[in-house]
Amino acid sequence: MVKYVLKRVLIGILTMLVLITATFFLMHIIPGSPFISDDDTAAAMKAYEALEAKYGLDKPYGEQYIIYMKGILKGELGESLIRKGQKVVDIIARCAPVTAKLAATAFIFSMVVGITLGTIAAFAKRRLVNGVTMVISTIGVSVPNFLIGLGLMIFFGVKLKLVPIIGLDTVSSYIMPTIALSLHPIAMITRLTKSSMQEVMRQDYMTLARSKGSGKLKVIIRHGIKNAMLPVVTYAGPLIASLMTGSFVIESLFSIPGIGAEYVSSVSNRDYFLIMGLTIFLGLLIIICNILSDIVAAMIDPRIKVGK
């Protein structure tokens, strides 16, 4: 198990290094600058050169890269080029909790509803139950979350005025963003749970457990759910990361001051250091989630670490 974990960690470190390097050079190769304006007078050009010198952007790319990597090793991500006097680390520390709360709420909601619907659909004999499950799954997979969010906002927020449509100041304000983010994961988890549970119930060991006199519900709880959850656990790691990164549009739609809003703003303003810092943070989050997901999956099914 230790060897398996170390292998996953080393792959994660290598992936992170490639991500940082690729993002750094892409940001600098693309034409343009955060300091360029329509004013091309001598004074403006002198001020432009002074700003580039201040932030080290006048140095060769290779030298800038080495300086930036040394800063990362010290835990420094630089200072925002647009937000004067604000460090990238401080901006992330302020915005990340907002996005994390929304993502955590959507994750829990997705897992509970998805596993419940999938389990019910796996054992339901009525066509109505399976039909409702398939409708929910189809809508979740095919309809973009921003359209779902917009529809919820218009109907429940504007017409009925039941919940707030801006910010995350109250518990009720989480309802619409959470549903908009969760429908696609719920659809995926429902399908994974249903197919996996049906496959598990056909296994010989489940038949043997039933033949020993154990009730169907007891067999499902003791043996079925654990083995059926492997695909869901494998999906859970990337899901957490995708909810963090996939909330950008939803944050913009509901005016939520999270990482998504900062990322969009940094790209629009070509704020190199903020783009890099947010990319590193989100990339690290995705890698950690995937590693944890692999470890939990290996704990559930030891055969995984043997084959990888």
Q: Given this model, what pLDDT does residue 14 score?
A: 92
Q: Given this model, what pLDDT does residue 24 score?
A: 86
Looking at domain 92-267, does it have CATH number 3.20.20.70?
A: no
Distances (CA, A) of 45 to 59, 79, 164, 184, 272: 17, 22, 47, 49, 20
Report the alpha-carbon distance of residue 160 to residue 162 in Å, rounded. 5
The confidence band for 108, taking pLDDT boundaries of 50, 70 and 90, is: very high
Tokens of 114: 């998805």
Residue 92 pLDDT more than 70? yes
Write out pLDDT tens, residues 186-227. Answer: 988 988 888 888 887 777 767 676 677 666 667 776 766 777
Report the alpha-carbon distance of residue 244 to residue 260 in Å, rounded. 8
Report the alpha-carbon distance of residue 41 to residue 242 in Å, rounded. 46
Write out pLDDT tens, residues 72-83. Answer: 888 888 888 877
Residue 52 pLDDT more than 60? yes
State the amino acid at position 188 in one-letter form: M
Q: Given this model, what pLDDT does residue 35 score?
A: 64
Distances (CA, A) of 126 to 136, 165, 282: 16, 38, 43
